[in-house]
Amino acid sequence: MHQPDLDNLRLQALELGADKAAIIDTSAISVSEAVTFKCLVPRCPNYASCANCPPHAPTPEEFRRVLAGFSKAILFNKRFAPEVMLSPDQEAARTEAFRSIFELAAKLESAAFYAGHYLSFGLAAGSCRNVLCRDQKACAVLESKACLFPALARPSMEAVGIDVFQLAALAGWDMQPLGREAQADKVDQSSLTGIVVVG
């Protein structure tokens, strides 16, 4: 992997709207069954409802095997107001925030592809069912139909077992976990993170 290519991709992530972007070694990415288990306990409303969420997403074991064939990735992060991420009356803005991570992952993946890294792939944040197809009755793929958003839909980092907070700490980023009962006025910052594995 040529460093100038990685530097260019990191800069492109920032140009595409990321507030932070870092080049990381894939060997440092922690992939754990404990992360995907959090989709079950407490049970996420998107569990089993989407082709890119557990149990349909690649398992941590499958993802570890794939990741072993790669050496570098671009991790990116976007900040959003705590009110957007937590307030019940901000659902539309929250959906757009998550969608922006899907779009950024797709665009950066495409940039890597056209730079000659044709095996590159991006992962987003949240469930594509909830972000892209919230107005649909069901995930088209699970009904044996074509995906409505084939260029954008993808698993989240958590869906394949990536410990996002561990990875952010490795990049030197201060990220605060937000639970279901977190209150916007008690949170200093909130953000969403995605990644493009470059190959």
Tell me which residue of 183, 160, 165 sits closest to 82, measured CA to CA. Answer: 183
* Tokens, residue 124: 């987003």
> In this structure, which amino acid lies at residue 135?
D
Q: Which of 134, 157, 163, 172 is nearest to 50 (CA)?
A: 134
Q: Compute the mean pLDDT over every residue in the chain, rounded to the nearest whole number.
A: 95
Could you state, in order of their start, the residue ranges of all structural domains in the chain?
A: 3-198
How many C-beta atoms lie closer than 10 Å to residue 36's C-beta?
A: 23
Share of the chain above pLDDT 90, in %: 88
What 3-state DSSP class applies to 23? strand
Whether 185 has a pLDDT exceeding 80, the answer reads no
Name the pTM for this structure.
0.95
